[in-house]
Amino acid sequence: MNVLDKFRQQKLLSLALLIFTLSLGILIGTLINTAVWADKGQAPAPDASPLAIPSPVQLSTAFGQLAKQLEPAVVNITSTYGAREAQQSQRAPRQRQAPSEEPEQDPFGMDFFQRFFGSPFGDMPQRPFRRASAGSGFLVDRNGYILTNLHVVEEADRIRVKLNNDPKEYDAKLIGADPEIDVAVIKIDAGRSLANARIGNSEGVQVGDWVVAIGSPFGLEATVTAGIISAKGREVGDRQHQLQKFIQTDAAINPGNSGGPLINLKGEVIGINTAIATETGTYNGVGFALPINMAVHAYNQIIKTGKVSRGGIGVQFRKGAPQELLKAYGATRGVFVDAVESGGPAAKAGLKAEDVILSYNGQPIQDGDDLVNRVAATPVGTEVPVEVLRDGKKLEFKVTVGERAEIFAQTLGARRSQPESPRTETPETMFGFWFRNFRDSDRERLGYDEKGGVLVTRIDPNSFAEDVGMAPGDVITAINRQPVNSADDVRRIQGTLKPGQPAAFRLMRRPLTTRGARADWQPLFLAGTLPDKP
């Protein structure tokens, strides 16, 4: 082998060694890289099994079925009170209704800024401060008649009702009320047949029976709670509500539940949730519902005559008078008369204080509750025999039953009539607002430099304008995309609109800042459906 061949052989060996070394390096790098990626892709919990979501299954329960059955008939009620009511400090706190179901006034509302920062609109009337209280009720007639508590809607400027699963709010009309048992009947017109609750018989309920309460506590609609009947015939009212005998329940009842139904396991309404016993303002385990039988009696009279009439004879007695008092006057049962209402039926018939009433209309009287119930159920104008024990002798008098509310007007506290609205004139537009063309002084005072538009000077309470959020001081620049440059434009455009049609407004508004100063004018768009009755 010559030198040249040796050189070639050595060169081939070197090349082969280089190729082998490179191949070995690539192989080792690949193995290391594969191991690293394998380590990165490894599950953090290799011994855990993934969870699986099963197919939905409806678990049927008695309470669930009751909720589905009754919820369509349960409504949310919002009552709005105007500025005149907010200014009255003596608004009827009911001792038996605790806590009050009306939210506190917002201290940072328009009234706050107006008092501390002045009105930016000079002598223009401002939108009155309004507040609302919330409660519940339930439909008892497919034509829209609703039973609720009177304190939920009493003296409201406006009553609005929201149905379950229906975004629309309906204006309600107060048909009539029974202040003595705190019941009211209101009506809405939904334009269709509505679901109504089934009425039960509250005389059939027993202590320990399961019951369900449905309502809108704290404004949370269609809330369902369950419990049992803890007691019957509870008296938690005052002399103004002498006829009330409540069903006590431990089903959770909170502010906003008032007026909602208490139902039995048959899905029948056996009570109206009315009051709670509490020291905290919320549910403490004791709630009270008015028996439905009492409410039905009132409802039937209200839809017939608009009011509830009960009999009265005009005698006063002490509830729970000791038996020794009766015995001292020679009786073992009956009602000891403390006083007789002057000019009342009993006084006219000849009854006196210190008489002991033994029987009424031929039926023996056991105690005061017995007498009240019998007299209240007697039609006004009926003449009935009343037997009394006087000076050890039994005497009978013919008494003509009178109207209980009139005889005891001061004791029962006749409902306060609503004061007349300070403004009785009708708004200039179907929308419910007053307006005027801009004056030079208006533009200078308000700092409004834009051309066109009309100035809103006042909003009619409970109107379409208030519903959509319009306020005094707004500048209307367009209605339904049609420019507004003067008051004539507003009148012309409204003449083309009809109830039930949509109306959209382009406004300019200058809102308040958090420090009470006025921000720059900003565009605002408001819209709604014109009411059927403008």
- Tell me which of 79, 133, 151, 467 is the catalytic residue: 151
Q: What is the DSSP letter of 261?
A: E
- What does the alpha-carbon distance between residue 49 and residue 45 come to, in Å, rounded to a whole number? 9
**230 by DSSP, 3-state: which?**
strand
- Tell me which of 133, 136, 157, 182 is the catalytic residue: 182
- What does the alpha-carbon distance between residue 261 and residue 73 come to, in Å, rounded to a whole number? 10
Nearest to 68 by CA among 165, 148, 193: 165
- What does the alpha-carbon distance between residue 84 and residue 156 come to, in Å, rounded to a whole number? 11
182 is catalytic: yes
**262 by DSSP, 3-state: which?**
strand
151 is catalytic: yes
Question: Long-range pairs for 205-209 at CB < 8 Å and ≥24 separation?
Answer: 205/229, 205/232, 205/247, 205/264, 205/270, 207/231, 207/232, 209/264, 209/265
The answer to whether the Cα torsion of 522, 523, 525, 526 is positive or negative is positive
- Tell me which of 258, 297, 467, 474 is the catalytic residue: 258
Sequence-distant (6+) residues with CB within 8 A of 178 are 150, 184, 298, 301, 302, 308
Q: Where are the beta strands (DSSP E) in 372-430?
A: 383-390, 393-400, 402-403
Which two tokens mark 212?
Answer: 């369900």
- What does the alpha-carbon distance between residue 440 and residue 454 come to, in Å, rounded to a whole number? 12
> Which residue intervals of 350-455 are DSSP H helices?
368-376, 404-407, 409-412, 440-446
Active site members: 151, 182, 258
